[in-house]
Structure 1
Amino acid sequence: MRYMAVERLDLTGSPASKESDVYSLAMTAFTVLTGITPYIDVNGYITLIVRIKSGDRPSRPTNLAGSRLMPDDVWDMITSCWNDVPGLRSDISSMYEVFLASSLQEVHRVKTDIRTGERKRSSKKIRSRLADFFQSLLVSEPEIKRLVNDMDQRLENQTMSDKERRRLFNELCKTCSRRRVIPDSMYIPDRSNEATVEYTGGFATVSRSAYGGHQVAIKVINVYTNTLNTTRSGFCREVVAWKHLRHPNILPLLGVTFDDDYFSMVSEWMDNGNINEFILKDPDANRTALLADVANGLKYMHDLSIVHGDIKGANILINKDRRGCIADFSLTTITGVGSHPAHGVTPIATTFSGDTLMSFTAGGTYRWMSPELLDPDQFGIPKEEEGRPTRQSDCYALGMVIYEVLCGHSPFIEKENSLMLTSEIVNGVRPTKPEGAERLGFNNELWTIVERCWQGIIVERPGIDDILSCLNDATAFWYMREL
């Protein structure tokens, strides 16, 4: 969104054009030349839209290095490309000519700097690289690997207290993420060359293969050179967290393949598909029982102070015993151990931000997201906690999943405009009670708790125990409802 042309933010959803491409390219050029993400001070989705549509644009850098990379002709061209009126923007040919001339000047300057020994590095990068360097001196890679394997084995100790398990789990996840390693116990042979591709998306490819006499799903992460280290860190966080979640309603991780630029996760293949696919094939299945499975899995995670972060129907798979299993732990977080004092949350995986929200918008995930994740500013979320999933946001999403599964369609299915819908969610719009609610499985108590899950006031949402209790009661009601 930070790079989208202003006209594309209209509720009418203006289509992409040459002029909107020029606007986005100019915003990208600003980031590349300055190292600054546009509107870095804004995380709120709605706040960001208001800033852009009001004519707010990034400021010209004033530091020496930034000004050298942003001479007058380049800055004038970039600001021209940001004009609110598409027809008044510079065209791509003009951009090319200005960048070409500027690049030749920069090559000459770099040669001069090399001869004089001048070095231009930001202090932040220097500090970061020095920290990594000294850490590598203090603890070698073989030693880190030994420590990781030791922590991994200790977590298998069933007599360990919950408090100690959380502390060790958190330390293992952080170490694996920072050093981009995983325990040896997680490696399995690569089977991708024997697999049949079942799904290809922007983030991963899912294939089907055989391993150990069973059908398995192989999820291969799409890796891009410019984000390799970030992807490695995120992959290590996700798989280590996933491995140590053991519950009948959590999809088990069988192992991983982890190489320089190839990352894959292997889990049991679920012939029944996700919960939405399953109920389409078997409309008479006890949907409240499946939802109780989801709540049981989420209760297990919350009892361990672990937050899922992306609860929705597509992330709930149905196993061969026709039970619901939670999957996809890419946004999992652990709470309460070595965390920020404000809310007690330490991220294991990425948090939502204005940029990552756009990728979720493309896949529709915003329909399950709580309003404080969509616009943290409006809900008074501290800056350091913005976009970070919580138990309460999990319970909000679970309320949406209950609605999704019992109604048989996504929340807000009648609304197609993502910008308008996210604004409405932030301002309190929620799905309405469907006609024939009892026939669908909503008794009065279940609908009441679903509405409580959707409360905009975070502290008024029910906890997972209350939701699970209500779903258990609704399961008995399922077979007594009038069809």
Structure 2
Amino acid sequence: MQRRCLRALRKTCGLYGILPDSYTVTYPLSKPNQRPFTRGGFCDIWKLTDETNEKAYAVKSLRVYEKDDPIEKIRKRYCKEVIVCKRVKHENVLTIEGVASNIFEFCMVSEWMKRGNILDHVKADPTANRLELLIGVARGLDYLHRNEIVHGDLKSANILIDEGGSPRLSDFGLCSITKNIETVNASTPNSGVTYRYCAPELLETGEVAKVKNTKATNKSDVYSYSMVVVELVTGSVPFPDSTDYNIIHMVTKGKRPPKPPRFDAPGTSKAVWEVAKKCWHGTADKRPEAVQVLQCLNGIKNGGERTHGECSILGSEKLTNL
């Protein structure tokens, strides 16, 4: 019943381009400074303060341009996504507290995560256990998928670390608001799409390498997850020495990041890398579901000898022998 009511609310808000009054944050936020704190794939991120108790919040303002879809279409998609994002409640997903339409036309407000993103976190703390972090990311992704939400832009920059050191997925759903973002040429600066994390079925080559006008799926999210594994294992972005244009050609032809010579970082292993390889399969249908990834990583955590059953991703091989 609750899910049916949510769908009805989302449909109504998307039809009329409106949001319930309860979705507007009630605390007074400071007016933005001259520049945003940083930028995301689809938005500018402002660090604003509650003028009452000086608590910091992240306000993500969607970038909308004249060449994009008509503003009313964007507003309707925005309202639909806000309804979904506001209802998401999970320890590994960033909670959206509401909107601040008096400051930005299209924005979402969340608690400020001062520890930054997951890649910055492991660089600042080399002792951080990568496997524990990857399990948290997989848990959050599984939650989104079970609730029929495709992230669409999964990468380390969109995985924040909370006060307890747990990862929280952010920026899910934003890629569906401005459709034209998905078809920006690879040579175009500041586009919303991050090519290093895009599944091959979302890319195409020709005279101009670009991202297809194709919707992201659960399976393309799983591909992006494999690139997050690469980041945490190697400490750098996938294909660090390649341009976006070259990456599109390489990925569509089956090239993937090379296996590192050693697994020195805490929580990394050959078994974790094998999970990444299953997740970046060139055929979407042959990639595992997020729940299978989660189960397999938990198996690695609990002991490579697999005394409690086989990993459905890696097969019957003992994980210690990979």
Relative to the length of structure 2, the TM-score reads 0.79
Matches within 5 A, 1:375-386: 375=204, 386=213
Rounded Cα–Cα distance in structure 1 between residues aligned with 2:168 and 2:82: 16
- C-alpha displacement of 1:438: 6.0
1:217 aligns with 2:55: no
Aligned counterpart, 1:17? none
Q: Give unpaired runs (5+ residues) of structure 1.
A: 1-159, 333-346, 378-384
SS of residue paired to 1:257: coil
1:365 aligns with 2:194: yes
Matches within 5 A, 1:43-442: 160=1, 165=3, 167-189=4-26, 190-193=28-31, 199-201=37-39, 203-210=43-50, 213=53, 214-224=55-65, 227-259=70-102, 262-331=105-174, 350=179, 353-355=182-184, 362=191, 365-375=194-204, 386-415=213-242, 417-437=243-263, 441-442=267-268
Q: 2:274 pairs with 448, 453, 461, which one?
A: 448
Q: Does the Cα contact within 8 Å between 1:196 and 1:209 map onto a contact in 2?
A: no
RMSD: 3.2
Aligned counterpart, 1:117? none
- C-alpha displacement of 1:231: 3.7
The 1:247–1:172 alpha-carbon spacing in structure 2 relative to 1, beyond 3 Å, is: same
What is the one-letter code of the residue matched to 1:471?
Answer: L
The 1:212–1:278 alpha-carbon spacing in structure 2 relative to 1, beyond 3 Å, is: farther
Rounded Cα–Cα distance in structure 1 between residues aligned with 2:161 and 2:107: 21
Rounded Cα–Cα distance in structure 2 between residues aligned with 1:240 and 1:356: 31
- C-alpha displacement of 1:198: 5.1
The 1:329–1:351 alpha-carbon spacing in structure 2 relative to 1, beyond 3 Å, is: farther
SS of residue paired to 1:233: helix
Q: Does the Cα contact within 8 Å between 2:231 and 2:237 map onto a contact in 1?
A: yes
What is the one-letter code of the residue matched to 1:169?
Answer: L
Q: Does the Cα contact within 8 Å between 2:47 and 2:56 map onto a contact in 1?
A: no
Q: Does the Cα contact within 8 Å between 2:43 and 2:60 map onto a contact in 1?
A: no
- C-alpha displacement of 1:435: 0.9
The one of the two structures with greater contact order (alpha-carbon pairs below 8 A, sep at least 6) is 2
SS of residue paired to 1:292: helix
Rounded Cα–Cα distance in structure 1 between residues aligned with 2:104 and 2:153: 26
Range moving further from structure 2, 403-412 or 443-452: 443-452
What is the one-letter code of the residue matched to 1:199?
Answer: F
Rounded Cα–Cα distance in structure 1 between residues aligned with 2:230 and 2:290: 16
The 1:260–1:247 alpha-carbon spacing in structure 2 relative to 1, beyond 3 Å, is: closer
Deviations 1:72-92 (A, max 9, x none): xxxxxxxxxxxxxxxxxxxxx
SS of residue paired to 1:306: coil
What is the one-letter code of the residue matched to 1:300?
Answer: Y
Range moving further from structure 2, 468-477 or 391-400: 468-477
Deviations 1:48-77 (A, max 9, x none): xxxxxxxxxxxxxxxxxxxxxxxxxxxxxx
Range moving further from structure 2, 203-212 or 239-248: 203-212
- C-alpha displacement of 1:439: 5.0
What is the one-letter code of the residue matched to 1:414?
Answer: D
Q: How many residue pairs end up in the alignment? A: 294
SS of residue paired to 1:310: coil
Aligned counterpart, 1:68? none
What is the one-letter code of the residue matched to 1:419?
Answer: Y
Rounded Cα–Cα distance in structure 1 between residues aligned with 2:151 and 2:52: 29
SS of residue paired to 2:107: strand
- C-alpha displacement of 1:241: 1.5
Deviations 1:124-143 (A, max 9, x none): xxxxxxxxxxxxxxxxxxxx
- C-alpha displacement of 1:176: 1.9
Relative to the length of structure 1, the TM-score reads 0.55
Q: 2:290 pairs with 451, 458, 464, which one?
A: 464
The 1:467–1:311 alpha-carbon spacing in structure 2 relative to 1, beyond 3 Å, is: same
Rounded Cα–Cα distance in structure 2 between residues aligned with 1:237 and 1:376: 32
Q: Give unpaired runs (5+ residues) of structure 2.
A: 207-211, 305-319
Q: Does the Cα contact within 8 Å between 1:237 and 1:349 map onto a contact in 2?
A: no
Higher normalized helix content (fraction of residues): 1
